[in-house]
Structure 1
Amino acid sequence: MLSSSVAANYRAACRASSTAEFAAKVGVVLEESGIVPAQRLAHLKQEATELTAILSSIRKSSTNKKATL
């Protein structure tokens, strides 16, 4: 669900008096919407996968060390 400020800014963009004003206001809408571009999202997903692997390895390693003590 989008916030009311996103909707208000989109409405203001639709009422822009020039292409430059429209582009600027749509930029504000994008910033406030929290939408992540697909390319950035793929990078974040890869990073999350790598961090999960690292943390899982640390957990497994620490569990194995406790078992041998």
Structure 2
Amino acid sequence: MKNAEVKTMTVANDGALVELLKKSRLDERKDQHFSFSLRLAALAVRAQQRDLSAAEVVELIRQESERFEHSAQGLS
């Protein structure tokens, strides 16, 4: 494989780029938190509809935790 030529890119205003990245990260965090709150609400509804015991709710939360862990590993 041959070395690729690297070209430098100039940006007119680094501050504007940094602010754009900050806003993008903040929007992503908001979306993640909203998705998480929806998932928690769905779990609460499921537990209530099935009239789950405390032990069953704990197991439901453990299963959800594993789902999030596997999802995070897939992002790495």
In the superposition, the TM-score normalised over structure 2's length comes to: 0.42
Q: Which has the higher helix share?
A: 1
In the superposition, the TM-score normalised over structure 1's length comes to: 0.46
Q: Which has the higher contact order (CA 8 A, sep 6+)?
A: 1
